Structure 1
Amino acid sequence: MTALEIAGLTVRHGEVLALDDVSLRLGEGTVCGLMGANGSGKSTLFRAVMGLVRPVSGTVRVLGATSATARRRAAVAYMPQAEAIDPDFPILAHQVVLTGRYAGMGTMRRARPADRAAVEAALDRVGLTGYADRQIGRLSGGQRKRVFLARAIAQDAPLLLLDEPFAGVDHRTQEEMTGVLGELAAAGRTVLVSTHDVAGVSRLCGRVVLLAGRLLADGTPDEVLTPEVLGRVFGLRNAS
């Protein structure tokens, strides 16, 4: 089954053409790397999948549904860059992970035993059981990234969007996260991961997409991550 289908997506930010006729289809159980220079449209693509920007043309479908419907159903989980989080915000690690369960908790957001169990299991999966009661700002950058990965896992969404999950983390943390993402894909989850890490993409992803406002390359790491293709991508600059 198709987890994500993007067809002819064009997005403008005022006079700036951020995405130009981008099409992409990901099946269930796929881990796809999304690469491109800064300003290549990666963040815009994520926002379009989440239904946070209105395209000029084209469509986005998540498991056959619109982005808005997918968000209501909690069918898509987003892992932001840890740097985008206010470290002084008074919230504990397990409370951050619990937000991944909000869609099914009703307006009162009262955690059920199943919600608490999902949070505990997700923290255990990323190796942070002992940090559940730690304030988010007291965690290292790598630990914060694992907290947000745990939130995505607890949400149990079929589609995961990960924004630079390996930036600023040590090799051991990256290897651990790569292993978890591989397990999720093996269980049928679909992962679209934005990254600049060429070596990491080769280990994690069975497929790589290169953006420069438009789709420049799409294939296996061996097909896409060549000096010639990478030179084309990182030698171009487009706005996002």
Structure 2
Amino acid sequence: MKKQQNFAVEVEDLTVAYDSKPVLWDIDLKIPKGKLMAVIGPNGAGKTTLIKAMLGLLKPVTGAVRFLDGSGSIRTLKNQIGYVPQSGSVDWDFPATVQDVVLMGCYGKLGWIRRPRKSDIELTKQTLSKVGMQDYASRQISQLSGGQQQRVFLARALAQEAEVYFMDEPFKGVDAQTEKAIVALLKELKEQGKTVVVVHHDLQTVPDYFDWVTLINLRVVASGPVEEVFHEENLRKTYHNSAALLRSVV
């Protein structure tokens, strides 16, 4: 009997090294479809590395990553995979308007030669409205605040209309209002059946924001529903008994 599949991302035997030093070791991970998942762990645990390796931005030493029930790799399914990088890794001096940046999310459907269609322009307006940035469409991205820039890149990912989204610290450096707006959008994506994987630092908000969590520290410590794996024992294993940090959570 054929094994039933229902995963958005499957990582098998993934090892990543920098200068021959492993930063992720023997990672096995299966992320079900329709989950809003946090990736948590201490600084240097490999959270961003894991995201980049799954996206094909880093070449692993060993391992494989499959998407959407094994129907393809990042190469064949790139139009179905959205990515919001860390704000600090983006060249904000690039001469582009807010609308230009969001339209980039449509390029997978358009190709690089075709001009945007009326429907693409309308989708751009809708996504900017969703993130509260419709009044900034003609503004240069370099003129925006950190929170506004983050909203724009979230809008670009939404315009892609992907099935799986990866977001690397989307709440970093944003104000409380922007964080609340981003959380609402993430939960809306989940309700639409999308899968969202988020590198996250604030342990206190994990139970409120997410329904699935992966704890890593070079290896996967635990992964599963928040109510099952987000507990003191696993946190101590992940953060090596960091008492000050754990007291604020457990």
Asked if these proteins are the same fold (TM beyond 0.5), I'd say yes
Which one of the candidate residues 51, 66, 76 is aligned to 2:73? 66
Could you say what secondary structure the match of 2:10 adopts? strand
Structure 2 equivalent of residue 133 of structure 1: 138
Could you say what secondary structure the match of 1:67 adopts? coil
Structure 2 equivalent of residue 211 of structure 1: 216
| 2:164 is equivalent to residue 159 of structure 1 | yes
Q: How does 1:125-204 map to 2 (within 5 A)?
A: 125-204=130-209
Q: Normalized against structure 1, the TM-score is what?
A: 0.92
Structure 1 equivalent of residue 47 of structure 2: 42
The letter of the residue matching 1:104 is: K
> Distance between the aligned counterparts of 2:167 and 2:7, measured in 1?
19
TM-superposition CA deviations, 1:80-111 (whole Å, max 9, x none): 11122223222111111111111121231411
In the TM superposition, what is the alpha-carbon distance from 1:49 to its structure 2 partner? Answer: 1.3
Structure 2 equivalent of residue 124 of structure 1: 129
Q: How does 1:48-87 map to 2 (within 5 A)?
A: 48-63=53-68, 64=70, 65-71=72-78, 74-87=79-92
The letter of the residue matching 1:165 is: P
Gaps of 5+ in 2: 1-5, 242-250
The letter of the residue matching 1:120 is: K
| More deviation, 220-229/109-118 | 220-229
Structure 1 equivalent of residue 3 of structure 2: none
> Distance between the aligned counterparts of 1:147 and 1:200, measured in 2?
23
Q: How many aligned residue pairs are there?
A: 234
TM-superposition CA deviations, 1:124-164 (whole Å, max 9, x none): 11111111111111111111111111111000110100000
Q: Normalized against structure 2, the TM-score is what?
A: 0.88
The letter of the residue matching 2:226 is: P
Gaps of 5+ in 1: none
How high is the sequence identity, in percent, across the aligned residues? Answer: 40
The letter of the residue matching 1:197 is: D
Contact between 1:198 and 1:225, CA under 8 Å: does it hold in 2? no
> Distance between the aligned counterparts of 2:123 and 2:204, measured in 1?
32
Could you say what secondary structure the match of 2:76 adopts? helix
In the TM superposition, what is the alpha-carbon distance from 1:235 to its structure 2 partner? Answer: 3.1
Could you say what secondary structure the match of 2:193 adopts? coil
Q: Which has the higher contact order (CA 8 A, sep 6+)?
A: 1
